[in-house]
Homo-oligomer: A and B are copies of this chain.
């Protein structure tokens, strides 16, 4: 399916990067962008990234055959309510939220039969945020998870999968629940660990950060992410996250026992297991 007009709702890091890469990879496509603030609209207009940029939903959404929600997950349901009157019958709608089950349920209920909604999660964030951090290569080689439900039409899944693939993503299709379980472990828990580690070190002595090397820098990079966005994500996914924290505490208890027993062979085995698995991941692009 070829989209002729794409509406991007929210010109932050992801929305802005989407516009950049679409201009590059799909030059014939019309791109209209909605922003909450007039200053953001003017910023987009200055870049020439959009055909129309507006704080009004009507001109942006009307006639779009693909609408992409790039706003914080808490802002999605009220925005979805507002765009329903302007959606064309054949429009496909997706989002880029980091939590899927609550988002897919909320938006699915709002759109019902009035739009073809398929949830997406392009795992292409960064600790930076906002239009100024947008990059045309943000999605290149990144994983994008698509989370259809039982009622989602296969053609719509294929259309959304094709869209993200065209932007350079490696696409996976799994259920919203499974998505949330996995992302808890590979994204939300790591984020929380990074923030907790920074706060722990600074509660000891803030000057200790002066002694950190690249290991600490990398381990805690994500702790610089936007707190407002992340607290919303973590709270929305809290049931799964709570379980993961309990599991992490349990695993740290195992490590503590290895140290208490001066079990050097056990520690070497533990670190070796981690190394084997971590070595499977390619280096950061």
Contact = CB atoms under 8 A, between A and B. Distances in A.
Interface of A: 123-126, 142-143, 145, 172, 182-183, 185-187, 189-206, 208-228, 230-232, 234-235, 238, 241-242, 244-249, 251-253, 255-256, 259-260, 262, 264, 267-268, 270-275, 277-281, 283-285
A214 B274 CA distance: 17
Given A186-B216, A217-B281, A252-B245, A238 B209 contact: no
B275 A125 contact: no
Nearest to A242: B259
B225 A277 contact: no
A200 B254 CA distance: 11
A193 to B, nearest CB: 6
Contact of A193 (B197, B217, B221, B285): B197
Contacts of A284: 214, 217-218, 221
B262 A238 contact: yes
A230 B271 contact: yes
Nearest to A185: B201
Contact of A216 (B190, B199, B203, B279): B190
**How many protomers of this protein does the assembly include?**
2
A213 B279 contact: no
Contacts of A234: 259, 267
B213 A124 contact: yes
A208 B190 CA distance: 14
A182 B211 contact: yes
11 contacts: A125-B215, A143-B210, A186-B208, A187-B212, A195-B275, A212-B281, A215-B222, A219-B220, A225-B275, A231-B267, A235-B267
A219 B217 contact: no
A13 to B, nearest CB: 13
A265 to B, nearest CB: 8
Contacts of A216: 186-187, 190, 281
A196 B232 contact: no
B277 A211 contact: no
A180 to B, nearest CB: 11
Nearest to A263: B235
B280 A209 contact: yes
Given A218-B284, A275-B225, A235 B249 contact: no
Nearest to A265: B231
Nearest to A142: B213
A268 to B, nearest CB: 4
A255 B227 CA distance: 14
A131 B37 CA distance: 54
A126 B214 CA distance: 8
